[in-house]
Amino acid sequence: MKTFSAKANEVPRKWWIIDAKDQVLGRVAVKAANLLRGKEKPIYTTHVDTGDFVVVINAEKVRLTGRKEDQKTYMSYSGFIGGHKTENAKARRERHPELMVERAVRGMIPHNKLGRAVYRKLKVYKGDLHPHIAQQPALVTFS
Mean pLDDT (the chain) is 96
143 pLDDT more than 80: no
- What dotted CATH number matches 13-65+98-139? 3.90.1180.10
Dist. CA 57–CA 129, nearest whole Å: 7
Burial class (CB in 10 A: 0-12, 13-18, 19+), 35: buried
Domain coordinates of the chain in residue numbers? 13-65+98-139
Under 8 Å between Cβ of 57 and 19: yes
Residue 1: predicted pLDDT: 80
Other C-beta atoms lying within 10 Å of the C-beta of residue 53: 18
Question: In the predicted model, what is the mean pLDDT of residues 121-127?
Answer: 97
Beta strands in 1-143 (DSSP E): 15-19, 53-57, 73-77, 84-88, 122-124, 138-139
pLDDT tens-digit map of 23-43: 999 999 999 999 999 999 999
Does this model's pTM top 0.85? My answer is yes
